[in-house]
A and B are shown apart, each in its own frame.
Chain A
Amino acid sequence: MFKKIKTDSINTVGINESSKKIGERIGFSRTRRITGYLVGTLDRFNNAKRAEEKDRVKHGCS
């Protein structure tokens, strides 16, 4: 599991001082709509909704 980044702590948690690098163990966030509202992370989707989200195909415009 990767760390969820906290809004106010991003400046201090991520930096490795010796290597001057940032981002170690910090994940991406993925926001998706579920039944009409949004969820900031797929981790909290139930199994069925996760399966459904995976199956979603894009709808072409033309």
Chain B
Amino acid sequence: MQHVIKRDGTKVSFDSVKILNAITKANKTTTDEKMTPTDTLFLTEKISLEIDRLCLCNVEEIQDVVEKILIHYDYAETAKAYILYRSEHSKIRNSEDYLMEIYNKLTYASAKDSDIKRENANIDGDTAMGTMLKYGSEGAKFFIDNYILPKEISRAHLDGDIHIHDKDFYMLTATCCQIDLISLFKNGFSTGHGYLREPNSIESYSALACIAIQANQNEMHGGQSVPNFDHAMAEGVKKTFKQEYLKLFSRYLQIKVNLTDHDIIQLEQELKDLLADQITIKNLPKIEKKLVHFRFLSLNKDSILSAHHYAQKEALKTTNRRTFQAMEAFIHNLNTMNSRAGAQVPFSSINYGTDTSEEGRIVIRNLLLATKAGLGNGETPIFPVQIFKVKSGINFNLEDINYDLFKLSIETSALRLFPNFSFIDAPYNHVFYKANDYQTEVAYMGCRTRVLGNTHDPQRQTICGRGNLSFTSINLPRLGLKAKKNIQFFYQLLDEKINLVFDQLLHRLKIQSSKKVKNFPFLMGEGVWIDSQFLNKDDTIGEVLKHGTLALGFIGLAETLKALTGLHHAESEEVQQLGLAIVAHMRKRADDKAKETGLNFSLIATPAEGLSGRFVPIDRKIFGNIPGITDRDYYTNSFHVPVYYPIKSYEKIELEAPYHELTNGGHITYIELDGDVSQNLEAFETIIRHMHQKGIGYGAINHPLDHDPICGYVGIINDICPRCGRKEGESIPLEKLETLRQQYPNVPYYH
């Protein structure tokens, strides 16, 4: 015998030394069967002869002979070790095949045909960088599963008992962070690639806000949030107004009384000396009083005061206009700037609504107007996720100072789906609230993450610089199915899974904690994360990470309840009580674990995008196609009432609200509305008010938002555009657009 055919089909010369080595290796692991070199040589000889006799050349067949001969000569333990070694290798080989199969798909299939390329809808899986990102991600998952995770945990994930989110980033970083731009901008900052001075105008404020979000996005695997966008940008508006006022004041006099350039410089200097930091919108009456006594060259009181009146009126106008443009640029940037090697735009969220200063109000108003206007051709901006913070006494009631902005936010959301609404008055949010302190105002990140309470440091139940470290979800419907309507047994199974998830979250935290400041030049190096400013480049980050949350999540409460009782929580009051008891139990376990460890264990109503369809096919294989449980392609999101179940909006709100209180790690409730919502703002506001009243923490109203770029129609389009009458892909005469233009304001022009 001369050749051996390997598994990949290649031919190599037969080499008996390889067999000798394999036997020696297997024998070494045994205790009572130690072979001498003569023994191994003897066995190798016998094996080679047998292979020759049978004319074998296939590697699998050769290995069978090795096993047979070992057993024949009574080396049972060595044979066992050899078999084990063989199967271990074949496992690795199989999983390598598995990984290569995935790479194959990533390389040759288009996103349209390959679900794996559409795991996250905001990554374009068809692009070079999108694919590169997936290679990395799939390779990392393989590494984590096979070499990092304790067997029990990796098994639980692969079998679909639990889902470790962002597993590809297991060894690398944490989920998300609430960035305080105010402290970041003070004295400027470095992105790791270049140093930026403290900004001095609203345009620079908005540009640097984008850059900060982008820089942080590249160091974390989840979304980036600004919890106090209005307060942060207000500083930029303040600086802009001051500049504009001074400039317009002197320009006015320059023209009126013919001042020289030199006079102008001196005038501005004297004004600055006189008014110092008092040039704000609120101080305008005070400034006027001071100016009564101000003298410059031969100018009289009347000239000075008319310069002031002109400057104050015009500065307000230009400040507003510049803020609008800055907000427009902010939105455009966040929808176009690249992160993650260009595969994605940063996943950004901004919270606002509570700054009642004139400057803050200018920010909010113009941001909403820019959102309403849409992108270049009137498209709806996808990012940032916008969250309007609703608070009575500030913006919720008719007499509240920001009530007009609340109204405008409703108008905007009815047209653009954003902003969403968060509710500071919900009792579990309100306990943290202190007036005039944005650090205590609940904020939400991206999909729904909430980080506010702090078990690790109860003195610092604050928003900024904190975020989620990682989260892992439990497949609740499977436990429901396994329990076979035995509620006691269900809780027992649930507790086992919760224990496993806690172990896993701590396992991951240990890895995260061993990272150093230098691994996160922006997040930690620039002091974005809470207390990281006190660390040096080579310090580990374990201690400051303790301010972050470790979240236990779940999917499919509705299917679980179906499995346990035959009904879901919208179908029976009794079942709703069971649903609440189950979620309350998980919350209690998280609270207990937090107390025990001093870490921020919390319960999240998992967002579940990639996860929505992962568990169902596995469970369908185990339990079959069960109506209302495994018969759809997805499990219902967290505690939501199933999307297919007909229910009135107020009932849905009342059913879901109590779950918001229980899920301290994050939650959201949706209402789906029909028709053109922008024509029915009253209904929209009624729903938001109902959410406020019932204790919803975070909510949003969905309505169909289709857009025909040809005639500019925004609304619902089934098959035919209701405005211009064309089907998708069809053309219409240009004359027709001319007619439409006389009826509608926003029909695009073509030349």
A pairs with B: yes
Tell me if B417 and A31 are in contact (CB < 8 A).
yes
Given A21-B734, A22-B710, A40-B382, A33 contacting B700 (CB threshold 8 A): yes
B726 close to A (CB within 8 Å) = yes
B245 close to A (CB within 8 Å) = no
Tell me if A61 and B609 are in contact (CB < 8 A).
no
Given A21-B734, A28-B708, A57-B672, A37 contacting B729 (CB threshold 8 A): no
B627 close to A (CB within 8 Å) = no
Q: How far is the CA of A48 from the CA of B751 in the complex (A)?
A: 42
Tell me if B706 and A16 are in contact (CB < 8 A).
no
Tell me if A5 and B673 are in contact (CB < 8 A).
no
Tell me if A58 and B673 are in contact (CB < 8 A).
yes
B539 close to A (CB within 8 Å) = no
Residue of B nearest to A50 (CB): B633
Given A14-B710, A21-B731, A56 contacting B672 (CB threshold 8 A): yes
Min CB–CB distance A33 → chain B (angstroms): 5
Tell me if A39 and B646 are in contact (CB < 8 A).
no
Residues of A within 8 A of B609 (CB): 34-35, 46, 49
Tell me if B731 and A22 are in contact (CB < 8 A).
yes
SS of B interface (majority): loop
Tell me if A31 and B706 are in contact (CB < 8 A).
yes
- Give B residues with C-beta under 8 Å from A: 111-112, 115, 118-119, 121-122, 124, 347, 375-377, 379-380, 382-383, 385, 417-418, 420, 446-448, 607-610, 612-614, 616, 632-634, 637, 643-650, 652, 668, 670-674, 683, 686-687, 700, 702, 704-710, 717, 721, 726, 728-735, 737, 748-751
Give the contacting residue for B382; candidates A26, A28, A39, A49; CB below 8 A.
A39
Residues of A within 8 A of B633 (CB): 47-48, 51-52
15 contacts between A and B (CB under 8 A): A10-B377, A11-B748, A23-B710, A23-B730, A24-B729, A28-B707, A28-B708, A30-B706, A33-B417, A36-B448, A37-B446, A44-B118, A44-B121, A46-B121, A49-B612
Residue of A nearest to B653 (CB): A59
Q: How far is the CA of A28 from the CA of B380 in the complex (A)?
A: 13
Given A33-B670, A45-B118, A61 contacting B731 (CB threshold 8 A): no
Given A36-B446, A38-B382, A49-B609, A58 contacting B674 (CB threshold 8 A): yes
Tell me if A59 and B634 are in contact (CB < 8 A).
no
Residue of A nearest to B647 (CB): A59
Residues of B within 8 A of A48 (CB): 612-614, 616, 633-634
Residues of B within 8 A of A32 (CB): 702, 705
Tell me if A24 and B730 are in contact (CB < 8 A).
yes
Tell me if A7 and B379 are in contact (CB < 8 A).
yes
Given A29-B706, A34-B121, A44-B122, A22 contacting B734 (CB threshold 8 A): yes
Min CB–CB distance A30 → chain B (angstroms): 5
Q: How far is the CA of A27 from the CA of B710 in the complex (A)?
A: 9
Tell me if A31 and B707 are in contact (CB < 8 A).
yes
Give the contacting residue for A28; candidates B446, B632, B706; CB below 8 A.
B706
Residues of A within 8 A of B671 (CB): 59
Tell me if B648 and A61 are in contact (CB < 8 A).
yes
Residues of A within 8 A of B385 (CB): 36-38
Residue of B nearest to A53 (CB): B643
Tell me if B380 and A22 are in contact (CB < 8 A).
no
Given A10-B377, A10-B750, A37 contacting B447 (CB threshold 8 A): yes
Tell me if A16 and B731 are in contact (CB < 8 A).
yes
Min CB–CB distance B533 → chain A (angstroms): 30
Residue of A nearest to B708 (CB): A28
Residues of A within 8 A of B737 (CB): 22
Closest 10 CB pairs of A and B: A48-B613, A7-B376, A36-B447, A51-B633, A21-B731, A35-B607, A48-B634, A59-B649, A58-B674, A5-B709
Min CB–CB distance A47 → chain B (angstroms): 5
Min CB–CB distance A36 → chain B (angstroms): 4
Residues of B within 8 A of A11 (CB): 748-751
Min CB–CB distance B468 → chain A (angstroms): 14
Residues of A within 8 A of B687 (CB): 61
Residues of A within 8 A of B119 (CB): 46
Min CB–CB distance B559 → chain A (angstroms): 13
Tell me if A35 and B347 are in contact (CB < 8 A).
no
Q: How far is the CA of A55 from the CA of B643 in the complex (A)?
A: 6
Residues of A within 8 A of B704 (CB): 30
Residues of A within 8 A of B418 (CB): 38
Min CB–CB distance B536 → chain A (angstroms): 36
Residue of B nearest to A51 (CB): B633
